[in-house]
Amino acid sequence: QSVLTQPPSVSGAPGQRVTISCTGSSSNIGATYDVHWYQQLPGAAPKLLIYDNSNRPSGVPDRFSGSKSGTSASLAITGLQSEDEADYYCQSYDSSLSARVFGGGTKLTVL
């Protein structure tokens, strides 16, 4: 059971918009610790997608955006493309555990 809760899977057609939620608690996201998002393509290492809640590293398309409110965060992907099919993970810090924590991951399927 992950400290940060993500839906196991989401799907959308090419060109559509999807969102992936990441729900935490008062000891992590709700305690104002930043949320980061990673994309893991099949068979590859994770790649940083969004850092500090809503910032994109250089090279990440602006189709990807992040937001945070209260004890939750969200990743939005617009203009879905087949190459977006991957696993997505949120990550933050938990003060009760004194540990960096990941969500369980969400598998995105592009229909």
- Of 5, 7, 27, 51, the one binding other proteins (CB under 8 A) is 51
Contacts of 98 (CB under 8 A, 6+ apart): none
CB of 83 to other proteins, least distance (A): 19
Rounded to whole angstroms, the Cα distance separating 61 from 25 reads 29
Binding residues among 65-94 for other proteins as defined by CB under 8 A: 89, 91, 93
Q: Which amino acid is at 109?
A: T
Rounded to whole angstroms, the Cα distance separating 87 from 93 reads 20
Query: Mask 22-41, x = binds other proteins (CB under 8 A)?
Result: -----------xx-x-x-x-
Do the Cβ atoms of 110 and 69 come closer than 8 Å?
no
Which residue, 24 or 103, is less far from other proteins as judged by CB?
Answer: 103
- Of 22, 103, 108, 110, the one binding other proteins (CB under 8 A) is 103
Quickly list H helices, 3-108: none
Rounded to whole angstroms, the Cα distance separating 87 from 103 reads 11
Under the binding rule (CB under 8 A), the answer on residue 63 touching other proteins is no
The residue ranges that bind other proteins (CB under 8 A) are 2, 33-34, 36, 38, 40, 45-48, 51-52, 57, 89, 91, 93, 97-105
